[in-house]
């Protein structure tokens, strides 16, 4: 028995050693390169970025985000950098894991970055807030939950680019009001995003006189939501709201079709990746969700103020990576754009960057950002359009 | 309380949902048992066999457009080959195979296979066409997918094949002999190493079948293996490790308990209810529902 224990402990040490040594190496090299360059040219602007690039449930978020950031860094540096300073972004993979996110944030702080972009998930964002606040480095999260930037007094250095989940709920409830639907069933994923959405759905229901007749959940690894949907059906719901960001959300429309439930299905803005619609196949037809305009850029009227930017990002992304652009990549685009704007204006002092972000007012992929000391998200319900799935593609749902 | 038609059709709906979930746990549990019987090891790469079955089937039918039966055959063959390779390269080469060492090796193989799947099939979820129609039909008010019937049918078919193989063929009997007493089996001239290899091939094949039949319903991605393995392992333990009838019974029971838990109590506690049930079983009868406590004392675990 003793022998076995020794083996286990040795194995554990080996694993820790291997995983540590792997990650340290490239960074050291980059730091060395920087030191050499410092003597020759203006010093680099160093930014940290971390996303859920791999990992079971969030890689559809993190991958486009990483791609977007890498693409932007290349574009900026090819155009001569920011006021002659080269932009260097250190990338870390959180794997969607909160403790890894905290580790990465600490690493960035140790490296002396002037701003941090990411992480992808709401849970990870909440986990890194204390660390980043203490280090007084501005962080622009790419995650949706409103609680990331509220209350703003305790989130002095925290900003975020995705639209607020409360605004998404308002958009859906507003539409339900117009349609005269009051009884809804909600089904949410048990992730940070899903839990935050569930909270908002319940909090705002009273304001919009919505009656939640069934409140169900599913885990990201779940494979079948029939039981939950049967309960919603029996509770007499007139519409279903499915709030989740993981691939499992595509099973809900499939199961609804199997159960021959013909009440409308609303999804959250977490549905904003055409892959999710494709996974659900036929069953996705007619799903409605509030989404950023990036998904429907081509359908926007020509003088829409967001259109040129959206089209450029979409074309750049799709030609570079040969895959559809998603709103998640857009969130990273906006986040890095905010940092670049600030670097251009005030240089790389974290405190000055923070102050500058609170004054920014510009069009990004997410909408018209108007940051103020009271609003660290800068978007409102107008950042969303109601989008539907029609013939396997996202379409703007006409004004309502 | 009066039982209405509505209540009955709900009950039926939950039962079918439970059987469909449970069949997969049962197949995964059977895979665990075959290898456990021949080596005394829990093969934690079992979930990966399911994933590879599903993903390979997706490639063969959705991109290469092979007909379902042909693709089915090649997929099972392919995954069995992975099972054989795994045994030959990692298990067979260990000089002094203690149970603990082998278990750790299977965990390593599982992580390795998961990585390979991620690189080859990407991180996306994949969809697979249903074997027949994807339209549901109604039975006493419950909506049932034809695929569910396929799953149940194939489970029954495999269970029968299993019984025939282990009771009436020479290879099957040899494998049973090895699992009862390896040294004695060697003495009468059975090649025990070959039996271990066959057990890996069989268990990989069953895993592949589980993956193929469930993918149209659940979508498959590279990371699903761990969860499937854990649930299958749960079913194997509850049914009594090494006992295949127990595995099928326990798998379906766990599936139905999950479905009832979600339907009648709360979906928030669905997993908790299933795990609670497993704990109760293990407290009351640590050797599992069908396991013999005498036999389990002789095993390493």
Rounded to whole angstroms, the Cα distance separating B132 from B212 reads 14
Compare all CA atoms of chain A with the CA of B17 and give the residue at the minimum distance. Answer: A226
- Closest C-alpha to B130, from B47, B20, B15: B20
- Report pLDDT for A71: 95
**How would residue A6 be classed by pLDDT, with cut points 50, 70 and 90?**
low
Give B143's contacts in chain A (Cβ within 8 Å): 258-260
Q: How far is A228 from chain B (nearest CA, A)?
A: 6
Contacting A residues, span 247-266, partner chain B, CB-CB under 8 Å: 247, 250-251, 257-260
- Closest C-alpha to A260, from B130, B267, B137, B10: B137
**How would residue A118 be classed by pLDDT, with cut points 50, 70 and 90?**
confident
Contact across the interface for A54 and B100, Cβ inside 8 Å: no
A367 with A321, same domain: the answer is yes
- Report pLDDT for A23: 42
A205 with A119, same domain: the answer is no
Domain assignment present for A266: yes
Residues A226-248: what's their mean pLDDT?
Answer: 89
**How would residue A11 be classed by pLDDT, with cut points 50, 70 and 90?**
low
Classified as helix, coil or strand, A73 is helix
Instruction: Dump pLDDT digits (tens) for B254-299.
Output: 999 988 988 888 888 888 888 888 888 888 887 887 776 666 665 6
Q: How far is A307 from chain B (nearest CA, A)?
A: 29
Residues A91-120: what's their mean pLDDT?
Answer: 92
Q: How far is B121 from chain A (nearest CA, A)?
A: 14
Residues A307-317: what's their mean pLDDT?
Answer: 91
Instruction: Dump pLDDT digits (tens) for A333-379.
Output: 999 999 999 999 999 899 999 999 999 999 998 889 999 999 999 89
Domain assignment present for A16: no
Higher-pLDDT residue of B3 and B253 is: B253
Give A250's contacts in chain B (Cβ within 8 Å): 125, 219
A249 with A268, same domain: the answer is yes
A152 with A184, same domain: the answer is no
Name the pairing type of β-strands B137-139 and A87-93.
unpaired
User: Is B114 an interface residue toward A (CB < 8 Å)?
Assistant: no
A47 with A147, same domain: the answer is yes
A174 with A287, same domain: the answer is yes
Q: Are B216 and B111 contacting, i.e. CB atoms less than 8 angstroms apart?
A: no
Instruction: Dump pLDDT digits (tens) for B185-243.
Output: 889 998 888 888 999 999 999 999 999 998 988 888 888 888 888 888 889 989 888 88
Q: Is the pLDDT of residue A26 over 50?
A: no
Rounded to whole angstroms, the Cα distance separating A350 from A344 reads 13
Q: Which domain holds residue B275?
A: 5-298
- Report pLDDT for B88: 92
**How many CA atoms lie within 13 Å of A189's alpha carbon, on the beta-carbon side?**
24
Q: Which residues have C-beta within 8 Å of that of residue B128, sequence separation ≥ 6?
A: B54, B57, B58, B61, B62, B212, B215, B216, B219, B220
Q: Are B25 and B231 contacting, i.e. CB atoms less than 8 angstroms apart?
A: yes
Higher-pLDDT residue of A34 and A112 is: A112
Query: How many domains does one find in chain B?
Result: 1
- Report pLDDT for B17: 87
Contact across the interface for A227 and B100, Cβ inside 8 Å: no
Q: Which domain holds residue A180?
A: 165-291
User: Is B221 an interface residue toward A (CB < 8 Å)?
Assistant: yes
Rounded to whole angstroms, the Cα distance separating B195 from B199 reads 6
Q: Is residue A30 packed enough to be buried (19+ CB in 10 Å), middle (13-18) or exposed (0-12)? A: middle
ipTM of the complex: 0.76
- Report pLDDT for B295: 62
Mean of the per-residue pLDDT values for chain B? 87
Q: How far is B174 from chain A (nearest CA, A)?
A: 31
- Report pLDDT for A184: 94
Q: Is the pLDDT of residue B90 over 80?
A: yes
Contact across the interface for B218 and A223, Cβ inside 8 Å: yes
Which of B10, B218, B270 lies at the smallest CB-CB distance from A234?
B10
Contact across the interface for A247 and B219, Cβ inside 8 Å: yes
User: Is A233 an interface residue toward B (CB < 8 Å)?
Assistant: no
Residues A39-43: what's their mean pLDDT?
Answer: 67
Rounded to whole angstroms, the Cα distance separating A147 from A196 reads 8
Give A259's contacts in chain B (Cβ within 8 Å): 13, 136, 143
- Report pLDDT for A15: 54
**How would residue A33 be classed by pLDDT, with cut points 50, 70 and 90?**
low
- Report pLDDT for B281: 87
Rounded to whole angstroms, the Cα distance separating B249 from B193 reads 30
Domain assignment present for A264: yes
CATH number, domain at B284? 1.10.3470
A191 with A275, same domain: the answer is yes
Higher-pLDDT residue of A101 and A273 is: A101
Query: How many domains does one find in chain A?
Result: 2
- Report pLDDT for A1: 47
Instruction: Dump pLDDT digits (tens) for A241-299.
Output: 999 887 788 889 988 988 888 899 999 988 888 888 888 888 889 999 998 888 888 88
CATH number, domain at A259? 3.40.50.2300
Q: Is the pLDDT of residue A75 over 80?
A: yes
A169 with A287, same domain: the answer is yes
User: Is A14 an interface residue toward B (CB < 8 Å)?
Assistant: no
A155 with A115, same domain: the answer is yes
Give B145's contacts in chain A (Cβ within 8 Å): 258
Instruction: Dump pLDDT digits (tens) for B95-150.
Output: 887 888 888 999 999 999 999 998 899 877 888 888 887 788 887 878 888 888 99
**How would residue A10 be classed by pLDDT, with cut points 50, 70 and 90?**
low
Phi-psi region of B143 (alpha: psi -120 to 50; beta: other; left: phi over 0): beta
A259: which 2 tokens? 């159960």
User: Is A228 an interface residue toward B (CB < 8 Å)?
Assistant: yes
Mean of the per-residue pLDDT values for chain A? 85
User: Is A302 an interface residue toward B (CB < 8 Å)?
Assistant: no
Q: Which residues have C-beta within 8 Å of that of residue A133, sequence separation ≥ 6?
A: A154, A155, A156, A157, A158
Give A54's contacts in chain B (Cβ within 8 Å): 118, 123
Which of B13, B124, B223 lies at the smallest CB-CB distance from A56?
B223
A221 with A287, same domain: the answer is yes
Which of B123, B224, B263 lies at the smallest CB-CB distance from A227?
B263
Domain assignment present for A25: no
User: Is A305 an interface residue toward B (CB < 8 Å)?
Assistant: no
Q: How far is CA A233 from CA A226, A238, A260, in A?
A: 10, 8, 10
Domain assignment present for A388: no
Identify the domain boundary among A291, A323, A343.
A291
- Report pLDDT for A155: 92
Q: Is the pLDDT of residue A5 over 80?
A: no
- Report pLDDT for B293: 66
- In sequence order, the β-bridge partners of residue B144 are B137
Give A216's contacts in chain B (Cβ within 8 Å): 267
Q: Where are the alpha helices (DSSP H) in chain A?
A: 2-40, 59-78, 98-111, 122-135, 165-179, 192-205, 226-234, 251-258, 274-280, 307-321, 327-346, 350-357
Q: In what order do the strands lie in the sheet with A265-267?
A: A211-218, A183-189, A239-243, A265-267, A288-291, A385-390, A393-396
Q: Where are the alpha helices (DSSP H) in chain B?
A: 5-39, 46-58, 68-86, 99-121, 146-168, 170-180, 182-187, 192-218, 225-239, 244-260, 270-284, 293-298
Backbone angles phi, psi at B44, to 5 degrees: -75, -5
A159 with A170, same domain: the answer is no
A133 with A188, same domain: the answer is no
């Amino acid at each position: 028995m003793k022998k076995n224990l020794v083996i286990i402990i040795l194995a554990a040490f080996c694993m820790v050693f291997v995983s540590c040594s792997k990650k340290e190496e490239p960074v050291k090299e980059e730091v060395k390169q920087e030191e050499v360059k410092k003597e020759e040219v203006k010093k680099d602007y160093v930014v940290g970025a971390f996303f859920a690039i791999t990992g079971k449930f969030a890689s559809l978020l993190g991958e486009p985000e990483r791609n977007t950031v890498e693409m932007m860094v290349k574009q900026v540096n090819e155009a001569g950098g920011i006021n002659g300073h080269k932009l260097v972004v250190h990338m870390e993979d959180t794997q969607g894991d909160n403790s890894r996110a905290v580790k990465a944030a600490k690493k960035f702080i140790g490296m002396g970055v002037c701003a941090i972009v990411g992480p992808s998930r709401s849970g990870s964002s909440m986990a890194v807030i204390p660390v980043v606040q203490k280090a007084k480095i501005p962080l622009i999260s790419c995650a949706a939950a409103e609680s990331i930037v509220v209350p703003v007094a305790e989130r002095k250095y925290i900003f975020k680019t995705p639209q607020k989940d409360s605004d998404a709920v308002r958009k859906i409830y507003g539409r339900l009001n117009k349609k005269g639907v009051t009884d809804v069933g909600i089904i949410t994923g048990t992730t940070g995003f899903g839990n935050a959405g569930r909270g908002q759905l319940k909090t705002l229901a009273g304001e919009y006189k919505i009656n939640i007749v069934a409140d169900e959940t599913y885990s990201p690894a779940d494979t079948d939501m029939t039981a939950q949907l049967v309960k919603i059906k029996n509770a007499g719901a007139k519409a279903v709201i499915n709030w989740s960001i993981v691939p499992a959300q595509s099973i809900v429309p499939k199961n609804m079709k199997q159960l021959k439930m013909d009440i409308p299905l609303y999804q959250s803005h977490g549905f904003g990746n055409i892959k999710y619609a494709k996974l659900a196949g036929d069953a996705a037809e007619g799903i409605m969700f509030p989404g950023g305009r990036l998904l429907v850029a081509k359908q926007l009227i020509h003088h829409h103020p967001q259109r040129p930017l959206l089209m450029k990002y979409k074309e750049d992304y799709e030609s570079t990576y040969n895959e559809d652009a998603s709103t998640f990549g857009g969130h990273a685009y906006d986040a890095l754009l905010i940092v670049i704007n600030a670097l251009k204006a005030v240089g790389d002092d974290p405190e000055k960057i923070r102050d500058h972000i609170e004054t920014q007012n510009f069009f990004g992929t997410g909408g018209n950002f108007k940051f103020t000391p009271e609003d660290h998200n800068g978007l409102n319900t107008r950042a969303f359009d109601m989008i539907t799935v029609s013939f396997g593609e996202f379409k703007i749902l006409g004004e309502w | 309380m009066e039982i209405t038609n509505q209540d009955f059709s709900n009950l039926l709906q939950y039962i079918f949902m439970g059987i469909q979930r449970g069949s997969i746990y049962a197949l995964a549990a059977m895979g665990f048992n075959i290898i456990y019987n021949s080596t005394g090891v829990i093969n934690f790469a079992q979930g990966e066999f399911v994933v590879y079955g599903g993903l390979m089937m997706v490639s063969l039918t959705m991109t290469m457009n092979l007909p379902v039966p042909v693709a089915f055959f090649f997929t099972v063959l392919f995954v069995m080959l992975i099972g054989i390779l795994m045994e030959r390269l990692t298990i067979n080469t260990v000089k002094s195979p203690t149970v603990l060492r082998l278990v750790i090796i299977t965990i390593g193989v599982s992580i390795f296979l998961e990585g390979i799947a991620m690189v080859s099939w990407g991180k996306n979820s994949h969809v697979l066409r249903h074997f027949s129609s994807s339209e549901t039909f109604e039975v006493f008010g419950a909506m049932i997918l034809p695929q569910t019937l396929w799953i149940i049918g194939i489970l029954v078919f495999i269970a029968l094949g299993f019984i025939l193989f282990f009771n009436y063929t020479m290879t099957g009997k040899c494998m049973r002999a090895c699992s009862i007493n390896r040294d004695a089996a060697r003495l009468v001239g059975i090649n025990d190493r070959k039996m271990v290899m066959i057990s890996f091939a069989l268990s990989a094949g069953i895993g592949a079948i589980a993956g193929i039949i469930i993918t149209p319903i659940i979508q498959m991605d590279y990371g699903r293996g761990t969860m499937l393995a854990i649930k299958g392992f749960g079913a194997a333990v509850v049914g009594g490790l090494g006992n295949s009838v127990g595995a099928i019974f326990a798998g379906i029971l766990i599936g139905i308990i999950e479905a009832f838990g979600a339907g009648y109590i709360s979906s928030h506690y669905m997993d908790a209810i299933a795990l609670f049930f497993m704990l109760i079983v293990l407290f009351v009868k640590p050797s599992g529902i069908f396991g013999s406590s005498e036999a389990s004392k002789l095993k390493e675990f």
